[in-house]
Amino acid sequence: MTRYDDLTELLLQLGDSAMVQAQRLCELVGGAPALEEEVALMNVGLDLVGQARNWLEYAAERINDGRTADDLVFLRDSSDYCNLLLVELPNGDFGVTIAKQFLFDSWHYAMLQSLSGSSDERIAAVATKSFKEVTYHLRRSSEWVKRLGDGTDESHQRMQAAIDQVWHYSFEFSMPTEHLAALEAEGVFPAASTVHERWSETVKAVLSEATLTQPEAAARNYLSGREGLHTESLGYILAEMQFLPRAYPDANW
């Protein structure tokens, strides 16, 4: 995996996580449980694509090796992606899709809330705009968790099973943030050390209202999206997402 400075690594993590989550949501076209939900999921996906472009354009400028944001998306191998492991997991049933989205939204909300006060004006501008969109994303996914968790016996059981299934990958939200210490000291990433605390508070409150049991804190294993150590799922995502640009590199449309 190619390593960059801490700020560029942060931009890649934000951009890659948004892009991969958007790709997973796009897989639900024609497969959502209701037309209204399909439209809503696609709107969230489109928001994330726009956010990914903003982060990755800045990352490409900092890397400064001639690559564009499109190149970073379509021409990197999985080992160079920095996305959270959670977003690359298969969608599963609707409960799993919502569980993934909710845990990701909670982290995303906390990240953007901090970055909105960044001393880097460009980061602050992107984060502020994205925060408005993610506020809606989190409200929507939280409402679904509550509706399913505190609904029928079956919806409660399936929502609990979904949380339990994906919870293991939440260990990345609580990983040490030493690599962000310099950015925090410089004011580039204000309150970086409190992101996990904010994430945890949001998750705890929503799961409690949804009458769901929060699992024990997830233990870390050898995988790490930030370090390019992914599940096999990411390879399948990229194989589909990158096929056209790799097969027809000179194509224009």
Structure-block tokens of residue 71: 């190149």
Look up the CATH number of the domain holding residue 127: 1.20.1260.10
Residue 121, pLDDT score: 97
- Per residue in 34-74, pLDDT tens? 778 888 899 999 999 999 999 999 999 999 999 999 999 99
Domain of residue 76 covers 6-247
pLDDT in tens, 5-32: 999 999 999 999 999 999 999 898 887 7
Which of 37, 51, 126, 124 lies closest to 87 in space, CA to CA? 51
Is 252 a member of any domain? no
Domain-embedded: residue 144: yes
For 199-230, what is each residue's pLDDT tens digit?
A: 999 999 999 999 999 999 998 888 999 899 99
Kindly report, residue by residue over 158-171, the tens digit of the pLDDT: 999 999 999 999 99
253 within some domain: no
CA distances from 162 to 95, 204, 247 (A): 6, 16, 37
Q: Are 241 and 23 in contact (CB under 8 A)?
A: yes
Q: Which two tokens stand for residue 246?
A: 């790799």
Residue 235 lies in a domain: yes
Residue 154 inside a domain? The answer is yes
Tally the domains of the chain: 1
In angstroms, how far is CA 22 from the centroid of its own chain? 9
Residue 62 belongs to some domain of the structure? yes
Is 91 within the bounds of a domain?
Answer: yes
Is residue 93 a part of any domain in this protein? yes
Structure tokens belonging to residue 118? 């960044």
